[in-house]
Structure 1
Amino acid sequence: MSDKYAQNQIESTPFSVLDLAPITVGNTASDAYKNTIDLAQHVEQWGFNRYWLAEHHNMPFIASSATSVIIGHVAAHTTTMRIGSGGIMLPNHAPLVIAEQFGTLESLFPGRIDLGLGRAPGTDPVTIRALRRDSRSDGHDFPQQLEELRAYFDPELRSETNRVRAVPGDGLDIPIWLLGSSGFSAQLSGQLGLPFSFASHFSPNNTMAALDLYRRNFTPSKALDAPYAMLGVNVVAADTDEEAEYLATTLQQQFLNIIRNREIPLQPPVENMDEVWTEYEKASLQQQLGATIIGSKETVKQKLQSFIEDTAADELMITSQIYDHQKRLRSYEILSEIKEES
């Protein structure tokens, strides 16, 4: 692949942001929200396409549990970017409630709201019971929940006997995305002709199979004429490769603490991860974080070029779990510079 072709690929591939509203050690959710607004306003100025927040529960390092609320907060403090969920975990909610919430958001911020949906719980089994109250709601009925939710927005999908309306929501054109880390949502979104977002940032080994499944099963719809795949990717960019590797140890510690069942806020970087993890843990995390892009501007640019070429991604949703907020801003700024120079 020529340098010019690779540059054109980066230039033509929109960059977006997935924000987990990280709570760092010694800080609060309030601090996380201030950083979220600051990051959103900066990346909007830098030309990023959309800004999504993710639903997680009972995780001391993630402040975006009330996802619809924080989406409204971010939308109110920005003007042009699309703001949405990456995603709402639909089995945790009644479809009517989500339709009303996102109908409200779309009514407040017309043409700027995305509804990304997942079927995972976004939490642990004990918290699932606290959220759902009903052990039968385990995600297996996700297609039926999705059908119900879509019908609240689109009267053409609603049965004549259904007298329930989402107000606001009824008749509003809110893009619905399916999110996935395996093949289930890839196939379903293809069959329904919906845009698809795959979690390459923590399930890299399943990326190509899921994309193939999505594209092979794609059926044109009112939403899309052709498949559209957005891939999540961890990026830690800094002014040097060495600094980026150092900053990336925060992300590595986050995943290490998850597999160790240690519920603690986001940790500062360390000089040597070999003093923190075992060889087995290191190998496990290298599998899970295998698609992470770490380095200086030039290193990140080359890795982004390869990633886009290999996956034919239509859009990248970039997440950067960096402890220091200013360093996190700088990472996204470097991405904007790569984009501008391509």
Structure 2
Amino acid sequence: MTAISVLDLVPVRSDQTTADAVAATLALARVADEVGAVRYWVAEHHNMPAVAATNAPLLMALVAAATSRVRVGSGGVMLPNHSPLVVAEQVALLEAAYPGRVDVGIGRAPGSDPVTGHLLRRGSTGDGVDTFDDDVATLAGLVRPEGVSVRVGSTSYALRATPRAVSAPQLWLLGSSTYSAQLAGRLGLPYVFAHHFAGRGTDEAVALYRRTFVPSESVPEPRTIAVANVAVAPTTEQAHRLALPQVRTMWRLRSGMTLEPQELVEDAEDAPLPAAAGDLLTALTESWVIGDPASAADQVRALAARLGTDEIMVQPVAGATRGTPADASPAREQTLRLLAEALG
């Protein structure tokens, strides 16, 4: 059986407040918990009207409190924006509160525009990317119960993210390029490829990760996840209709346009994209999983088999129709329920 997990960007629709979007995410997380998803990850993006996932550890705490079984994690924490010690303290505290349920997906991209990224780094002139390899290794050491030893002059200084940790969150490295694949392999970390965003290069990156993998104490063998945009409905036609708002959002993103709150399905239908967008949309969505339950399950199984991944992480991209309760996302919940049932 193909295992599934969930990635949630906490999208904000045109009919929602931030509070509504968070409430809809918590409802979706409870569905993921109910249908047996392995993990539920939230993203980190900044200054985007269409996305409420600005603080992954805080959202992880909310999701963990609202669920009982599913692993909670970040997809991901964008490490160039943060001190490794701050991230380690946040996730180690979550692991202490919810032992055995915390993942930390680490990304290298800023997750924001250049101005916002500059402010996140408190005006630092560096972009944090040049120290990323060392920062990942530092974070990996800090989240261990024994912590790390820091040399200050002639003195060794013990540094722990929490004072009495008995377990550590699981670190994962995220990426959409061969760079992240090689780094994950070299550090002996499990690897997540952003297939939902990149669409291309997935096979090459996953294969490179496996070739370069060096076993570590916590990860003796390669472990991989691929993320896919997914919309499932009773019929394929309905699924394509529900995916339309997300398709238009991605078109705006790739076209350099401002990202507005996500449209309702009817509003997306009333404002067709220009004919010139056709080729771009085809390229954008060819890697998506859109269909009725049986065909969507087949697509997910085929992707997992092709890549040899341990699981597929689903980003539910089904939009909402007019009249949908603002604090819920029934079409995203339907995507999870129908897919989980079809996968058996």
Q: TM-score, normalised by structure 2?
A: 0.90
CA deviation map 1:234-265 (0-9, x unaligned): 11000001101111111101112213422210
Q: Secondary structure at the match of 2:197?
A: coil
Who is 1:196 aligned against? 191
Q: Secondary structure at the match of 1:248?
A: helix
Deviation at 1:156, TM superposition (A): 7.3
8 Å CA contact 1:107–1:168 kept in 2: the answer is: no
Who is 1:5 aligned against? none
1:169 to 1:212, Cα distance in 2 relative to 1, 3 A? farther
Between the aligned partners of 2:163 and 2:280, the Cα distance in structure 1 is 46
1:309 to 296, 305, 308: 305
Between the aligned partners of 1:260 and 1:168, the Cα distance in structure 2 is 46
Alignment pair present for 1:185 and 2:180: yes
CA deviation map 1:186-209 (0-9, x unaligned): 111111111100000011211011
Between the aligned partners of 1:267 and 1:101, the Cα distance in structure 2 is 34
1:283 aligned partner, one-letter code:
D
1:165 to 1:302, Cα distance in 2 relative to 1, 3 A? closer
Alignment pair present for 1:277 and 2:243: no
Deviation at 1:290, TM superposition (A): 2.4
2:244 to 237, 249, 256: 249
1:131 to 1:169, Cα distance in 2 relative to 1, 3 A? farther
2:129 to 119, 125, 139: 139
1:282 to 1:127, Cα distance in 2 relative to 1, 3 A? farther
Which stretch of the first structure deviates more once superposed, 158-167 or 122-131?
Answer: 158-167
1:126 to 1:169, Cα distance in 2 relative to 1, 3 A? farther
Between the aligned partners of 2:85 and 2:147, the Cα distance in structure 1 is 17
2:12 aligned partner, one-letter code:
I
1:292 to 258, 265, 288: 288
Matching of residues 75-114 of structure 1 within 5 Å:
75-114=64-103
Q: Secondary structure at the match of 1:323?
A: coil
Q: Secondary structure at the match of 1:202?
A: helix
Deviation at 1:305, TM superposition (A): 2.6
Deviation at 1:291, TM superposition (A): 0.9
8 Å CA contact 1:233–1:316 kept in 2: the answer is: yes
Between the aligned partners of 1:144 and 1:322, the Cα distance in structure 2 is 38
Between the aligned partners of 2:92 and 2:56, the Cα distance in structure 1 is 14
Alignment pair present for 1:338 and 2:331: no
CA deviation map 1:274-324 (0-9, x unaligned): 963334433223323321011111221222232122211111100012222
Who is 2:326 aligned against? none
Deviation at 1:268, TM superposition (A): 1.5
Between the aligned partners of 1:159 and 1:290, the Cα distance in structure 2 is 48
Alignment pair present for 1:45 and 2:41: no
Between the aligned partners of 1:85 and 1:275, the Cα distance in structure 2 is 34
Which stretch of the first structure deviates more once superposed, 260-269 or 204-213?
Answer: 260-269
Deviation at 1:163, TM superposition (A): 3.6
8 Å CA contact 2:230–2:318 kept in 1: the answer is: no
CA deviation map 1:214-234 (0-9, x unaligned): 000011111212111100001
Who is 2:324 aligned against? none
Who is 2:219 aligned against? 224
1:63 to 1:274, Cα distance in 2 relative to 1, 3 A? closer
Between the aligned partners of 1:125 and 1:168, the Cα distance in structure 2 is 36
CA deviation map 1:69-116 (0-9, x unaligned): 111011011111100101000000001100110111111111110011
Q: How many residue pairs get matched?
A: 329
Q: Secondary structure at the match of 1:129?
A: helix
Percent identity, aligned pairs only? Answer: 35
Provide the alpha-carbon RMSD of the alignment: 1.9
1:169 to 1:126, Cα distance in 2 relative to 1, 3 A? farther
1:310 to 1:169, Cα distance in 2 relative to 1, 3 A? farther
1:153 to 125, 140, 143: 143
1:286 to 1:152, Cα distance in 2 relative to 1, 3 A? same
Who is 1:25 aligned against? 14
1:330 aligned partner, one-letter code:
Q
Who is 2:107 aligned against? 118
Q: Secondary structure at the match of 1:56?
A: coil
